[in-house]
Structure 1
Amino acid sequence: MHRILFALGLLAGTMLAPAAASAGQIPGPASAADIPISHKDRLYAAEQFSNTVSVSDPVDNRLLGVIRLGDPQPGNLSPLYKGQVLVHGMGFSPDHKTLAVVSIGSNSVTFIDTATNAVKHTTYVGRSPHEAFFTPDGREVWVTVRGEDYVSVIDAGSFEEKLRIKVPGGPGMQIFSPDGKYGYVCSSFNPQTVVISLADHKIVGSVKQASPFCPNIAASADGKQVWFTLKDIGKTQVFKAEPPFDLVKTLDTGPITNHVNLVVNKKGSFAYVTVGGSNEVKVFRTDDFKEVATIPVGNLPHGIWPSGDGSRVYVGLENADQFAVIDTLTNQVIATIPIGQAPQAVAYVPNAVPEGDGLQNLMPLGAAGEAAHLKLAPRGAGSKTAATSVSLFDQGLTQILQAAVSGLEPKKPYVLALSSRADGGGALQPLSTFTTNPAGSAIVNAVGPIRQIVEARHEDERRFLVVATSTEGKAGDVVQVQVQ
């Protein structure tokens, strides 16, 4: 009997070996065991206009509360203001105990204890940092200082900057090979991704980007591929993670291609790409690069991260103030979670709260969840062909307007304006001029008491959002009108 049980044990181990070989989710290695979803895990989003970090339980798909890192306008305009502004980037430590949160407007990295939600330390770096992530050994935190030309390397123990790695101007994001050998840094201002040796912090390779604007990058758990997105031209590129770092594929993903992340499940290995201009997530196999799914998720999908077992993918909807929860076996949205204003980077941290309820230092969503949502469509087309999503994020008496504009002519000047007539035929009051990117899209911002105007009860006071062509700064023909 003992021999039979021993033989069965060996057989079971053999049968489980293929699954174990493909286990492990990024940023960890493929050799790591998958971690089933539990109440100990936490889902985070960095929320740009409410200056909060939302904290959710992935079992219940429930918001637990927010960590308030700063105030909305006009409080953050004070010369004595000490909080953070434009909470945007996010990474976490290999031991899952620390969250690193980047705030673009206050040039900071805030380190948060995942078990207690308490701020451990805030480190200030150079102009307009974008993303931060821990090295696989947990000893350093690399911060891409996008407003300058270097990566700030912070000692993870002291939280002090220890050195700067000079790179092409405008570094967008960094991620590391699972074995801790290389750091991959793409650029938002130059068409070049560089590869840096962690051993000596020297550049050892480079990859030509198809465009200058890369906001996001991911390295596969098996150490073979690196994927990065190009927001301005709507493409995603893949290169080999080992020397000579050859480019192997360029994919057309769509206007306002935002973030990419990689998932391994029993069906294989997949890349999930958020496409803000079409409000979709596209799914590609990582072996033959075939597109296997297109998932409608909601307005302006941005950050994306898998669960510790790869069974779920969580998408921050920038113009919907929600998480969309995707089942990776069916590639269907199975839940949504209300969160703060304009979620950017997201992170899923398994076993973030080993003990206790993890509710310390959390605050209710409150005003951080207040926003109005509108849509614009080509003139005369109707609401079913809406091309532009608009959010009006409450900041007291005013709102920050953000429009994810798409469906326009590439590289052309336009103006977002208010019209006195619903069909756009009235006098126009410009809010913001902009030029579309090569994919015919743009992210447009404005500030003012806009919600009160577009929702006014009296007809003679109400105005309607439109997009018009622009010639020498003057509004021309209206091409998109408000339909919702």
Structure 2
Amino acid sequence: MTRATFLNNAIPMFILLASCGASPALAQAPESLKGTAYVTSWFGGVVTAIDLAAGLAGRAIPVGVHNHNVALRPDQKQAWVTNNSTGTVSIIDTQSNSVVKTVSTGKGPRHTYFSPDGREAYVTNEFDDHVAIFDAQAAASMGVVKVGSMPHFALVSGDKLFVSNYGGGDVSVLSRSTRKTLATVPVGAGPLGAGATKDGKRIYVACHNANHVAVIDGQTHKRLTDIATDAGPVQVTVAPNQSYAYVANDGAGTVQKIDLAANRIVKTISIAPDAGSHGVGFAGDGRWLLITNTGANSVSIIDTETDEVIKTIPVPKAPEGIAVKR
């Protein structure tokens, strides 16, 4: 099944199965489980703000059509939401939890990624085959740069931008300073989300249709190896401790833990066969792993010390992206 078929046809059937339902509330939320999680809703047209300490979905913030991803600016004052079908980004003020600005990006925006200094924002536009660059403070356009076919995810590592091209089965590596392409790295069919180590030595790419995570050398741009996963890996994110990464597999409804030293799966966490596990976020300095379940209309909270689901929070239809504010 292609990713487009999954999103456009399969999810409504999953919704009829109803959500997972919340687990019994914790008697007392762990002290480190706090902050606000922002969760998109592909079919709901809203971003939901979840109070993690209370374990409850709170305010629903209206945004654009088919909102796919949400990313926090490094100062955490804003959350940028990509609206795939309206070609815009809705900018949420995280103090008032309201949209304060909407900017046009191009056709089919998927993900936003910020430079660590918070000066630039990169938005992938899958139907324009380019990345739109913005002044992240002013939310003003700084132009576009062409990449491969159907770019999905852009990731900043040092002075480089790594862009996964879903339609091309490759990753474009660009210089952020010159905007020039440095390399094009074949990674496998259907590359989507990506993660990187803080030192920039390794880039990990979830290849949805190849059922593996491709590992790229961040310096030489060589593809080093592939890590086999369950069906349909969507997003892979390196944990704050830099020892592990977690990959969400929407085709299997699982989350898998990767030992980065060995480049192998060491744990599989089952959500549900039809959960459509999709987005990955961390809270509590990495103690808590948050997974959006597109087909189950829920967010799972996983204790990374035990790698077990401790709570499930119902959210609006077809959640995909997630970002956590401290």
CA contact (8 A) 1:97 1:115 kept: yes
For 1:62 and 1:144, the matched residues in 2 are separated by 31
> Which residue does 2:49 correspond to in 1?
55
Per the alignment, in what secondary structure is the counterpart of residue 168 of structure 1?
A: coil
Does structure 1 conserve the Cα–Cα contact (< 8 Å) formed by 2:227 and 2:265? Answer: no
Distance 2:93 2:206 in 1: 30
Of the three residues 116, 119, 123, the one matched with 1:136 is 116
Relative to structure 1, the CA distance from residue 294 to residue 38 in structure 2 (aligned partners, 3 Å threshold; closer, same or farther) is closer
Aligned match of 1:385:
none
Structure 2 residue corresponding to 1:92, chosen from 62, 67, 72: 72
For the pair 1:310 / 2:286, whether they are aligned, the reply is yes
The residue identity in structure 1 corresponding to 2:53 is: V
2-structure distance, mates of 1:167, 1:333? 38
SS class of match (1:126): coil
Cα distance per residue 1:286-317 (max 9 Å; x no partner)? 11112211101131101111125110110001
Listed one character per residue, the Cα deviations across residues 308-342 of structure 1 (whole Å, up to 9, x for unaligned) are: 51101100011111100011110000111111110
Partner of 1:233: 210
Q: CA deviation at 1:344?
A: 0.8
- C-alpha displacement of 1:191: 2.0
Over the matched positions of the two proteins, sequence identity in percent amounts to: 26
Matches within 5 A, 1:193-342: 193-211=171-189, 213-242=190-219, 244-265=220-241, 269-298=243-272, 299-342=275-318
Return the alpha-carbon distance in structure 1 between the equivalents of residues 247 and 321 of structure 2: 13
Given that 1:44 and 1:56 are in contact with CA atoms closer than 8 Å, whether structure 2 keeps it comes out as: yes
Q: Which runs of 4+ in 1 moved over 3 A?
A: 36-39
Query: Does the residue aligned with 2:321 lie in a helix, a strand or coil?
Result: strand
Whether 1:192 and 2:187 are equivalent positions in the alignment is: no
Q: Which moved more, 1:94-103 or 1:199-208?
A: 199-208
- 2:149 is the alignment partner of 1:169: yes
Contact preservation (8 Å) 1:37, 1:58: no
- Tell me, yes or no, if structure 1 residue 115 matches structure 2 residue 111: no
Q: What's the counterpart of residue 325 of structure 2?
A: 349
1:101 corresponds in structure 2 to 81
Amino acid at match of 1:93: R
The AA in structure 2 aligned to 1:44 is Y
Structure 2 gap ranges (5+) = 1-30
Q: In 1, Cα distance between the equivalents of 2:148 and 2:295? A: 31
Q: Distance in 1 between matches of 2:252 and 2:107?
A: 31
Pairs within 5 Å for 1:396-435: none
Aligned twin of 1:183: 161
TM-score, normalization by structure 1:
0.59
Please give the alpha-carbon distance, in whole angstroms, between the structure 1 residues aligned to 2:281 and 2:318. Answer: 16
SS at match of 2:142: strand
Deviation at 1:205, TM superposition (A): 2.4
What amino acid is aligned across from residue 37 of structure 2 in structure 1?
L
Q: Hey, what's the Cα distance between the residues in 2 that align with 1:181 and 1:153?
A: 14
Q: Is the 8 A contact 1:100 1:133 kept in 2?
A: no
Counterpart-to-counterpart distance in 2, 1:274 and 1:38: 21
Matches of 1:290 and 1:168, distance apart in 2: 28
Q: Match for 2:318: what amino acid?
A: A
Tell me how far apart the structure 2 counterparts of residues 50 and 320 of structure 1 sit (CA, whole Å): 14
Using the size of structure 2 for normalisation, the TM-score is 0.86
Q: Is this contact kept in 2: 1:38–1:59, CA < 8 A?
A: yes
1:223 shift after superposition: 2.3
Give the Å deviation of 1:193: 0.4
Matched, 1:126 2:126: no
Aligned length: 294
Deviations 1:216-235 (A, max 9, x none): 11112232211111111211
Deviations 1:428-459 (A, max 9, x none): xxxxxxxxxxxxxxxxxxxxxxxxxxxxxxxx
Residue of structure 1 in register with 2:25 after alignment: none
Could you tell me how far apart the structure 2 residues matched to 1:68 and 1:166 are? 31
Distance 1:337 1:150 in 2: 35
Is the CA contact 1:183–1:196 (under 8 Å) kept in the aligned structure 2?
Answer: yes
CA offsets, 1:194-243, max 9 Å, x none?
Answer: 111222222222311222x112111122322111111112111111122x
Query: How many Å separate the matches in 2 of 1:256 and 1:61?
Result: 28
**Partner residue in 2 for 1:159:** 139
Q: Does the CA contact (< 8 Å) of 1:308 and 1:348 recur in 2?
A: no
Q: Distance in 2 between matches of 1:118 and 1:44?
A: 12
**3-state DSSP of counterpart to 1:95:** coil
User: CA 1:156/1:264 → structure 2, altered by over 3 Å: closer, same or farther?
Assistant: closer
Cα distance in 1, alignment partners of residues 309 and 288 from structure 2: 10
Residue identity matched to 2:325: V
1:90 deviates by: 1.7
Kindly provide the amino acid, as one letter, of the partner of residue 98 in structure 1.
Q
Say what the alpha-carbon RMSD is for the aligned residues: 1.5
2:32 matched residue in structure 1: 37
- 1:16-35 deviations in whole A, cap 9, x for unaligned? xxxxxxxxxxxxxxxxxxxx
